[in-house]
Amino acid sequence: MTGAAGNIGSLVREALRPEVKRLVLLDRVPLRPEAENEVVHTVDLRDAAAVESALTGADRAIHLGGIPDEAPLPDLLEANVLGTHHVLEAARRTGMERVVLASSNRVGGFYATGHLTEPQEPARPDGLYGVSKVAVEALGQLYADKFGLSVICLRIGSFEPAPTEPRHLATWLSPRDTIGYIRAALTAPPSTRFVTAYAVSGNTRRFWTLPDTSELAYVPVDNAEAHAADIPGDLAPDPTAVQAGPYADPEFTLKHLRP
CA 192 – CA 63 distance, rounded (Å) = 18
Which residue of the set 111, 129, 143, 218 is catalytic? 129
Q: Are the C-beta atoms of residues 258 and 123 closer than 8 Å to each other? A: no
Which ranges of the chain would DSSP assign to H, the alpha helix? 7-16, 48-55, 73-76, 83-94, 128-147, 168-171, 175-187, 250-254
Q: Are the C-beta atoms of residues 206 and 223 closer than 8 Å to each other? A: no
| Residue among 137, 26, 20, 132 nearest 88 (CA) | 137
Q: Return the axis-axis angle of helices 83-94 and 48-55, rounded to nearest 10°.
A: 40
Q: Are the C-beta atoms of residues 246 and 224 closer than 8 Å to each other? A: no
The CA R_g of the chain, rounded to the nearest whole Å, is 18
Q: Is 129 a catalytic residue?
A: yes
Active site residues: 129
